[in-house]
Amino acid sequence: MRLTARRLFFVWDFEKEERWLNEMASKGMNLQGVSICSYVFEEGTPGEYQYHVEWLKYRPSHPESVAYIRFLEETGVEHIGSLMNWVYFRKKRADGAFDLSSDLDARIDHFKRISWLLWVLLPCVLIFIASQIYQCLTHKGVLPALMPLIVLDILILACITMGLVKTRLTYRRLKKERLLRE
């Protein structure tokens, strides 16, 4: 049986997304493919797979990423799909533990990559907002028409800011821990 679920996760909530995918897998719903806000599951044996999600530095088609994914595949990991730089991996539980980063440095690096993405998005949204404000100021009467767009922009801005704060806090917590251990 196939099931398509629609869910939206913020990029900084990838751990939540992973938990959700693993909960589904423990109920026997195994992720088969991904597209924007949509997850395709196929019914299988409960608890057969463990899932991981990772944001790669380069696009999945980039030679660096291809080499990385091939390396993971050699260790029994299956690459089931990608969405921009997000890649979805799974491994059979019977084939042993599945973890992408066993050291703090790798986790710190992952959070750094994600907050970098947010820092790139931030100016884009700011430029968009600025141009809308400029239009409102120069053309009287466009404000009502532009209002929904402006509200949407402000919401996106709030999300990005929240994401930056969240990733920053995790980053700092991991950095502190790094002083004590590997």
Partner 1 sequence: MSENIALTEAVYYILLSLYEPMHGYGIMQKVEQMSKERVRLAAGTLYGAISTLLEKGWIRALPGESNSRKKEYLITEKGKEAVEREVIRLRELVENGERITGGKGI
Residue corresponding to tokens 């608890």: 47
Residue 65 CA to residue 138 CA, distance in Å, equals 47
Residue corresponding to tokens 């091939």: 70
* Residue 17 in the binding site for partner 1 (CB under 8 A): no
Residue 18 or 132: the one with the smaller Cβ distance to partner 1 is: 18
Binding mask 31-70 for partner 1 (x = CB under 8 A): -----------------------x-------------x--
User: Which residues in 72-155 belong to E strands, given as ranges?
Assistant: 77-83, 86-92
Binder to partner 1 among 15, 23, 43, 103 (CB under 8 A)? 103
Comparing CA positions, the residue from 162, 62, 70 lying closest to residue 115 is 162
Residue 121 CA to residue 7 CA, distance in Å, equals 21
Count of C-beta atoms within a 10 Å radius of residue 53: 18
Instruction: Mark the segment that binds partner 1 (CB under 8 A) among 20-28, 91-99, 150-158, 169-177.
Output: 91-99
Within 119-178, which residues bind partner 1 (CB under 8 A)?
none
* Residue 87 in the binding site for partner 1 (CB under 8 A): no
Number of residues that bind partner 1 (CB under 8 A): 18
Residues at the site binding partner 1, with contacts judged by CB under 8 A: 54, 68, 71-72, 74-77, 97-103, 105-106, 182
